[in-house]
Amino acid sequence: MTTGQTDFTRAILDPDLAVPPGLIDPQGRPAGKRFAVYRNNVAVSLTEALETAFPVVRKLVGDEFFKAMAGVFLRQHPPVSALMMHYGAEFPDFLETFPPTQSIGYLPDVARLEQALRRSYHAADASPIAPEALQDLPPDRLMAARIELAPAVFVIRSPWPVHALWLANTVDGAPKPQMRPEDVLVTRPRFDPSPALLGPGAADFLAAIEKRGTLSEALDAAGDGFDLGALLGQLLAGGAITGISEGT
Amino acid sequence: MLDATNRPFESLPNRPGVGYKPQHYSDILANSGSVDWLEIHAENYMGDGGRPIAQLRHLAERFPVSVHGVGLSIGGEAPLDTDHLARLKHLIAWLKPASFSEHLAWSTHDSHFLNDLLPLPYTAQTLDRVVRHIDQVQAAVGRRMLLENPSTYLAFAETEMSEIEFLSAIVARTGCGLLLDVNNVFVSATNQQTDPVSYINDFPVDHVGEIHLGGHDEDSDDHGAPLLIDSHGREIVDPVWTLYAHTIERAGPRPTLIEWDNDVPDWATLESQAARADRILTKISA
C-alpha cells in the first residue's frame, strides 16, 4: 500500500474527501484526526497569509467572513510558489466573481491597492534623483526628457474612492469616503510604501511615462486640468524618480 | 584578495540563537543578551529589496546568520522547483550565511505549494529521491546543508525503516549534516508512541550542526491518545528542556535555536528562553 502525494494533496485541500488509505496511527488504525492536523495547518497558514496581505479587505468584510472566504479562495487558488509574500495575486479577481462579494463593487480595487502596497514593500531598492536635477533643467529640455520611476512605484485606477476607503480603514479620524472615482499613486520613500491621491490626468501621464514617453508626450496624454507641478512634487517627495534621460 | 568583512562568520557558535522576527530588530541591536546568532526563514528574504533585505544586511554584519529554508520540498515526489532553487542560491551567494538548513518533508506537489511540512514514508524508493534532491541542492548552492528531522502526526503503512536509519543513510550518501529538532523528537515520539530518549541515544549526533527547541500544543487523537502539535507558539515545556540537556550531554555543546514563530512574544520573554539554553550549554560544557 503506497500513499501518493497526489492523493495526499487532494485530501489536504478538500475536507470532503476521505483520508487517503495507508495513513495510520501507531496501532495501525486509520489516521483520522491525525490527518486533520495537516489539513488544518495548511488552511490556517494560508488564511493567515491572506490576512497579512489584505488587512483592509478583512476589516471591510469582517474577520469571520474573511476567514470563510479565505477558506474558499485557498482551495481554488493554492499558492504556486513558496514565496508567501506573493500569495493572493488572484484574490482581487476572485472577489469580483465570488457570489457573496460580487455586489461589493469597490472591494476588488481595495484589494488591488493592498497588493500594490505589498509589492512596493518588497520591490528592488533604487536611488532617487535630487529634486534639483529636474528643477535645473530648462523647460524645453525638461519637456523632451524621459524620467524613470522606481520599481516600488505603482498606480491604481479605480471608479471607486479606493484611497479614501483605504484611509478610512487605516487612519483614525480619516474622513468618510465620498462616492467618486480615485486614482492612487503608491511610492516608497525609503522603506514604507505610502498611497497618495492623484489629481486629474496624472494616471494617464504616468501611464505614458511607463511607456517611455517624453514629458511632453505624457503631458499631451494627461489632457486639460492636469497639474504637472503637483505630480512632480508628489513623485519627488516619494523618492519615485530614479533617473532623467535626455535624447532618444 | 581575502576580504574578511565579506564573510565575517564562517560557522554558528555553540551558543543560543533565536529565530529572527522583525519586531525584535531594535531590541536585538540594543542588547541581544544570551542570543549570539540569528536564524531566518529563507523564503521571507527572497523579495527584491526594501526593509527585510536592508535589516538582514545590517544584522548579518553583527551576528552569524543561519538560513533555514521552509519551501524546497526535498521530500516531494515532484522534481525540485528550479526557480526556487535559483532564488535560494542567490540568497546564499550574497548573504554568505554561517549555516544553511532545510527539512525532511515535502510541501509542493503538482505546482501547488501547501505551506506546511508534510510527512513522507521511509522506504528505499523515498530514500533515493531525497538523496537525489539533496545532492541537487548542495550542488546548486555550493555548500553542505543540514537536514532537519520532522515532527509527525501519523505514520505510513508502507514505511520500511526507522527515521534514524533513513536519516543516517541520507548522511552517508550525500555528506549533508543534520539539524536535530529536540521538540520535534518529543512531539513525534509522543505521537508515534515511541521513546524520545532512545531516539536521542540512537541519533547520529556527530553529524548534528544545529539544534532546534520550540513550543508545542497538546491535543488528542480519535482514540484519546495524546497528539502533540508542533506550533512554535509558546514556551518550551520542561520535558523538552530535560531531553535537550540529555542531548547536549551526549553530543556536547551545539548551536541551539529557540523557535517561536506564532504569537511571537516580546524580546525579554524570547531572550529568557535563550538564557535557559545558555545555562544548560554552560553547565554541561563546564
Mean pLDDT computed over B199-225? 98
Amino acid B284: pLDDT: 86
Searching chain A, which residue's CA lies closest to the CA of residue B111? A80
The DSSP secondary-structure symbol of A191 reads: T
CATH number at residue B37: 3.20.20.150
Which pLDDT score is estimated for A78?
97
Is residue B126 assigned to a domain? yes
Contact between residue A75 and residue A14 where contact means Cβ atoms under 8 Å apart: yes
Residues B13-54 pLDDT 10s: 999 999 999 999 999 999 999 999 999 999 999 999 999 999
Q: Where are the alpha helices (DSSP H) in B113-266?
A: 124-141, 163-174, 182-192, 196-202, 238-251
The residue ranges of every structural domain in chain A are 1-104, 127-248
Helices (H), chain A: 5-13, 33-53, 55-61, 63-76, 91-97, 107-122, 131-135, 139-144, 162-168, 202-210, 215-222, 228-237
Nearest chain A CA: its distance from B165 CA (Å): 18
Task: State residue B7's pLDDT score.
Answer: 54
pLDDT at position B1: 34
In this predicted model, what pLDDT tens digit does every residue of B267-284 receive, in sequence order?
Answer: 999 999 999 999 999 998
> Whole-angstrom Cα distance, residue B100 to residue B107?
18
Instruction: Work out the burial of residue A227: count CB atoms within 10 Å of its CB; fewer than 13 is exposed, 13-18 middle, 19 or more buried.
Output: middle
Q: Which residues contact B36 (CB under 8 A, 6 or more apart)?
A: B13, B15, B16, B17, B63, B64
| Whether B223 contacts chain A with CB within 8 A | yes
> Which pLDDT tens digit goes with each residue over B257-270?
999 999 999 999 99
Q: What is the DSSP letter of A32?
A: T
- Burial of residue A42 (number of CB atoms within 10 Å: 0-12, 13-18, 19+): buried
| Residue pair B119/B84 in contact by the 8 Å Cβ criterion | no
Judge contact between A235 and A205, C-beta under 8 A.
no
Let me know if residue B2 belongs to a domain: no
Answer whether B178's CB lies under 8 Å from B146's CB. Answer: yes
Q: How many domains does chain B have?
A: 1
User: C-alpha distances in angstroms, A58 versus A66, A89, A107?
Assistant: 6, 16, 10
Q: With 60 as the cut, is the pLDDT of residue B119 above it?
A: yes
| B215-269 pLDDT tens trace | 999 999 999 999 999 999 999 999 999 999 999 999 999 999 999 999 999 999 9
Q: What pLDDT was estimated at residue A117? A: 98
CB B101 within 8 A of CB B74: no
Of A3, A32, A120, the CB nearest to B156: A3
Q: What is the pLDDT of residue B4?
A: 45
**Is B3 contained in some domain?**
no
Q: Which of A1, A46, A117, A122 to mutate to test the interface with B (most CBs of B within 10 A)?
A: A122
Cβ neighbours of B196 (radius 10 Å) = 22
Q: What is the pLDDT of residue A1?
A: 63
The whole-angstrom separation of Cα A141 and Cα A148 is: 16
B6 belongs to a structural domain: no
| Rounded (10°) CA dihedral A204, A209, A211, A214 | 120
* DSSP calls for A59-119: HHH-HHHHHHHHHHHHHHS--SSS-GGGTTTTHHHHHHHSTTTTT-TTHHHHHHHHHHHHH
Q: Is residue B109 within 8 angstroms of chain A, CB to CB? A: yes
CB B64 within 8 A of CB B13: yes
Residue of A nearest to B221 (CA): A33
For residue B184, which amino acid is it?
N
CA–CA dist B44, A122 (Å, integer): 10
Nearest to A25 among B49, B52, B154 (CB): B154
Give residue-wise pLDDT tens across range A188-224.
Answer: 999 999 999 999 999 999 999 999 999 999 999 999 9
- Closest-CA residue to B102 (of B174, B154, B48, B7): B174
Q: Chain B closest CA to A142's CA: distance in Å?
A: 30
Q: Compute and round to an integer the Cα radius of gyration of chain A.
A: 23
CA pair distance B16, B257, nearest whole angstrom: 6
d(CA A205, CA A134): 17
Residue B2 has pLDDT above 50, yes or no: no
3 state DSSP class of B284: helix
Mean pLDDT of chain B: 96
Report yes or no on B5 lying in a domain.
no
> In the predicted model, is pLDDT for residue B6 greater than 60?
no
Q: What distances in angstroms separate CA A28 from CA A15, A132, A227, B192, one per listed residue? A: 22, 75, 74, 11
- How many other β-carbons are positioned within 10 Å of the β-carbon of residue A223? 11
Q: Supply the angle between the helices B267-285 and B238-251 in degrees, to the nearest 10.
A: 40
Range of the domain at B239: 12-285
- Tens-digit pLDDT profile for residues B136-147: 999 999 999 999
Task: Match 512632480 to its residue by C-alpha cell.
Answer: A232
ipTM associated with this complex: 0.94
- pLDDT tier for residue B154 given thresholds of 50, 70 and 90: very high
Q: Which residues from B are below 8 Å from A34, CB to CB?
A: 153-154, 191, 221-222, 227
Residue A93 cell numbers, joined: 479577481
pLDDT tens, N- to C-terminus, chain A (248 residues): 678 999 999 999 999 999 999 999 999 999 999 999 999 999 999 999 999 999 999 999 999 999 999 999 999 999 999 999 999 999 999 999 999 999 999 999 999 999 999 999 999 999 999 999 998 999 999 999 999 999 999 999 999 999 999 999 999 999 999 999 999 999 999 999 999 999 999 999 999 999 999 999 999 999 999 999 999 999 999 999 999 999 76
